[in-house]
Amino acid sequence: MTNRSLFDRALDATVALSFDRTGFARHARGFDPADLDVDLRGRVAAVTGANSGLGFATAAGLARRGAQVHMLCRNEERGEIARKQLVEQTGGDLRLSVVDVSDRDSVARFCADPGISRLDILVHNAGALLAEREGTADGLEVTLATHVVGPLRLTLGLLPKLVDGPEGRPARIVWVSSGGMYPKRLSVDRLAATSGPFDGVAVYADCKRAQVVLSELLAERLDPRVVTSNAMHPGWAATPGVASSLPRFHAVTRRILRSPEEGADTVLWLAACARIGGQTGRFWFDRRAVSTHLLPGTREGAEERGRLWEQTLAWAGLPWPA
């Protein structure tokens, strides 16, 4: 072990000096530039929440490399503005689909779209961090529906279209989670709560923990030769969502936040890098597989993992394909 590796480990242990832009700069010194020197022509991608922040940066990176990118955005006006910007910036093939991931019918319409016959990359990026509890038309809390139930509905609806692509490379599902999940232990009961005090930040963190576990559970059930599932966290990135939902955090950290492109780097890497195509069921940060548990007492048991799987399928109203 070199002095540099010891030094880097010490800085990473502080969290702040790992999740911030200086952490990205340190970690990026070990990146292989060839990993993203790829041609994605002929590949089809879908990115939720693609009109801003990490989703916008991910869509841009995929389009620049030749992929056809479907931008799944809740707001048509903001989505179209973003699509035009991305076309100007990349010259790529970007297509807008108005999809609210928290809405069952909206997801179902996209999954049934005959214009999408196959899909190589699915990025679950759309997010919601609310100040007060809100419900969906089918009775789910919006944060849960956006981060957990909606993405599973979308995955199951698109599964017949997620097929191994050119040269036998598997399709890829990427879940954009958050380092904010680290203090949380998976609790299906907390996810299911419909009354009582509402702490939007805590609910968001619970849902981000659930995303990581769902990614692992999907990976256990999918043939990795056909579809892989991985989760990642972007560190602390300067996005419109952070600025609006966490104004105090943004005010204190804005000088050290990563750019959206830096935050989205590992999303793009997981979606596009050829040499990691067979990796599945792992959790990534700055192109490195990392532990999902940094604090004692946060590791869930097999029973709770099973409860999450069965309950999320029930919420989604969809069976696992036989």
CA of 84: how far to CAs of 40, 49, 258, in Å?
20, 15, 25
Angle between helix 260-272 and helix 53-64 axes, rounded to 10 deg: 50
Q: Which of 19, 56, 204, 315 is catalytic?
A: 204
Query: Does the active-site annotation cover 204?
Result: yes
Q: HEC string of the chain?
A: CCHHHHHHHHHHHCCHHHHCHHHHHHHHCCCCHHHHCCCCCCCEEEEECCCCHHHHHHHHHHHHCCCEEEEEECCHHHHHHHHHHHHHHHCCEEEEEECCCCCHHHHHHHHCCCCCCCECEEEECCCCCCCCCCECCCCCEHHHHHHHHHHHHHHHHHHHHECCCHHHCCEEEEEECCHHHCCCCCCHHHHHCCCCCCCHHHHHHHHHHHHHHHHHHHHHHCCCCCEEEEEECCCCECCHHHHHHCHHHHHHHCCCCECHHHHHHHHHHHHHCHHHCCCCCCEEECCEECCCCCCCCCCCCHHHHHHHHHHHHHHHCCCCCC
Handedness of CA 286, 288, 292, 293 (dihedral sign): negative
Whole-angstrom distance, CA of residue 239 vs CA of residue 243:
6
Q: Which residues are catalytic?
A: 204
